[in-house]
Amino acid sequence: MSETSHYLCIGCPLGCRLEVDTQGDEILEVRGNACKRGDTFARQEHVDPRRFVTTTVAIEGAPWPRLPVATAGSVPKHVMREVCEALHGLRLEAPVELGQVVLPDALGTGIDVVATRSMERR
């Protein structure tokens, strides 16, 4: 007996409605995707849903008190909040460069959190 799971693709703004046919642990077919990325996304989403996290970190000596940051890769969906909480205690000092690592290996996921803009010293 095969089963069908439904997902909405988040690979791009198109938002394809994806169908994943499975039998046991085996993925038989992915349908509804407009491109290759949809296929990859559906297979990943079915077994291990992952997301990028974007949030902010406190920064001092900069024009704004918050620096935007993001995970450099996707992390398991269920740790998104914990990643944000792990950043709450952080206090950065300007200047910071775009792409600079602000928290290496967040929660042992192997994924760094990096600055998504530069901020000079005010």
Q: Does 88 bind another protein (CB under 8 A)?
A: yes
Do 118 and 96 contact (CB within 8 A), yes or no?
yes
Say how many residues touch another protein, by CB under 8 A: 33
* ∠ CA 56-110-100, rounded to 5°: 45
In the chain, alpha helices (H): 36-47, 80-88
Do 49 and 41 contact (CB within 8 A), yes or no?
no
Task: Give, as ranges, the residues between 5 and 44 that touch another protein (CB under 8 A).
Answer: 8-15, 34
65 or 108, CB closer to another protein? Answer: 65
- Residues near another protein, by CB under 8 A: 8-15, 34, 51-56, 58, 63-66, 68, 70, 77, 80-81, 84, 88-89, 98, 116-118, 120
